[in-house]
Structure formats: C-alpha cells, structure tokens
Amino acid sequence: MDLLAWLPMLALDGPARRWEPKTLRLRQFSAAARLTTTGRHTYLRFARHWPWTEALTSAFARLQVLPAPD
C-alpha cells in the first residue's frame, strides 16, 4: 500500500497523478512489457500500442534521477 501512496507523488504527473489505487494496479502494474537481456544489460520494453506507455516511461525516468536514500 505504501508503494501505491508514494508512486503518484514521486513519479507521475498530469492526470495520472490522480489515479485511484485500483486504476494504478490496472494501468501500471499490469503493463504490456517484455523483460529482455542483451549482453550484461537488462531492459524492460513496453509495447508501443499500450495506452499508458508514455506515462510509465516518464515515471521510470523521474524515479531514476531521485537521490538514493541514506
């Protein structure tokens, strides 16, 4: 439940920030994606046709620039 509370505040923007927990589970946690490994790198590749791909990729980008907790 803490993840559902902090995710909109830290990573999401626009209308996605007001999504209810049920909507977050539907749109974010059941993403149409594939986990691929190339060499030593692992990538999470989202389907281009999925309607919330842009919201998820921008959320991951925002989370990556956050400083690590001490």
Contacts of 12 (CB under 8 A, 6+ apart): 19, 55, 59
Q: Indicate whether 7 belongs to any domain.
A: yes
Determine the Cα–Cα distance for residues 24 and 4; give it in Å rounded to an integer.
8
Q: Indicate whether 67 belongs to any domain.
A: no
Give the per-residue pLDDT at 42: 94
Contact 10, 63 (CB under 8 A): yes
Q: Indicate whether 15 belongs to any domain.
A: yes
Q: Indicate whether 48 belongs to any domain.
A: yes
pLDDT, tens only, 8-63: 778 888 887 887 888 878 877 788 889 999 999 999 898 888 888 888 888 888 88
Domain count, the chain: 1
Q: Indicate whether 17 belongs to any domain.
A: yes
Q: Which domain covers residue 11, as residue numbers?
A: 2-56
Contact 45, 33 (CB under 8 A): yes
Give the per-residue pLDDT at 1: 64
